[in-house]
Amino acid sequence: MMDDFVAPFSLDAAPVRGRVARLGASALNTILRRHVYPRPVAMLLGEALCLAALIGSLLKADGRLIVQTQSVGPVGLLVAEYDAGNLRGYARVADGAAGSLVSHGRMALAELLGAGNLAITLDQGDGRPTYQGVTALEGETLAHCAQSFFRASEQTDTAICLAVGEALGGDAPAQWRGGGMLMQRVAGDQARGDTSEDWLRASHLFATVRDEELIDPDLAADRLLYRLFHQEGVRMGEPAALRDQCSCSEQRLAAVMHSFPATEIESLVEPDGTLHARCQFCARDYKIKAVGVGAA
């Protein structure tokens, strides 16, 4: 499996666990092409989707893992969701801001988002508890902010790298590709002893990975891991597929609309007797019967 997957890895010579993700044509490219995002916004959303896959696959609990930023900058809202391999994402660009986001590459996080927060949420559904951690958007990149989140919320040494770019293939249209790695230190115990030196050594190796290596279609993930950690004895586990799959449905939208005041619903009814709605994530259009949501 070369693309659209997330897989675990471990090191034989160091108490380290991690995840590696690769996103390509079937997942990332489809999601990003669905909306006309300025290039830096598309890159940032792609990084958020990679991050959601890395963290979501790391958790043992079932449910939706949501990476979300809310801020006062040109991109006021950024959402990436992972749910058992299904991915969806959306970025909201302020009216009139697109013209100021012209760039051929990644822009500084402060320029895109401004002041705000990064929230990482596990929504288990079915009335079960929802867990959320929040950290300030203080870092040069989304990866830096996520590392701060783990230090503050989980007290776990964590290293994260994320990269997104477009791959050119001759006459074929450019395809968005993304890649990421997450590595965590396993705490010391009586058997392991102090793990700080092993973690420092592994972190130095991790820091040498380059953006182009993370998204290179000709460099398989297991080969990348070997390139970084061959001296430590690295093992990659079974990959799990990642898919472009939105969780929206007519029933869900109708349930949301049913909570609106009847007068508001009636004002939204179209001449054909339906309410028109579009999913912000997948851009799918719905026509929902007004009588089904409480309108006369």
- Select from 250, 255, 244 the least CA-distant residue to 278: 250
Q: Tens digit of pLDDT for each residue in 188-217?
A: 665 666 778 999 999 999 999 999 999 999
**26: three-class secondary structure by DSSP:** helix
| Angstrom distance (rounded) from CA 114 to CA 129 | 31
Give residue 269's pLDDT: 82
Average pLDDT, the chain: 89
Instruction: Assess whether pLDDT exceeds 80 at residue 261.
Output: no
Beta pairing partners, 277: 286
**Which has more pLDDT, 158 or 96?**
158
Asked if 28 and 213 touch (Cβ cutoff 8 Å), the reply is no
- Select from 63, 18, 16, 69 the least CA-distant residue to 47: 69
Give residue 190's pLDDT: 59
Instruction: Assess whether pLDDT exceeds 80 at residue 109.
Output: yes
Asked if 141 and 87 touch (Cβ cutoff 8 Å), the reply is no
Beta pairing partners, 8: 19
- Select from 62, 97, 61 the least CA-distant residue to 77: 97
Q: Tens digit of pLDDT for each residue in 154-191?
A: 788 999 999 999 987 666 788 999 999 999 998 766 56
**Which has more pLDDT, 169 or 122?**
122
User: How far is residue 85 CA from its own chain's centroid?
Assistant: 12
Say what the pTM is. Answer: 0.91
| Angstrom distance (rounded) from CA 295 to CA 261 | 9
| Angstrom distance (rounded) from CA 129 to CA 144 | 28
Mean pLDDT over 142-149 rounds to 95
Q: First and final CA of the chain: distance in angstroms? A: 52
Q: Which domains does the chain have, with CATH numbers?
A: 5-244 (3.55.30.10), 250-293 (3.90.1280.10)
Q: Give the least confident one: 103-107, 125-129, 273-277.
A: 103-107
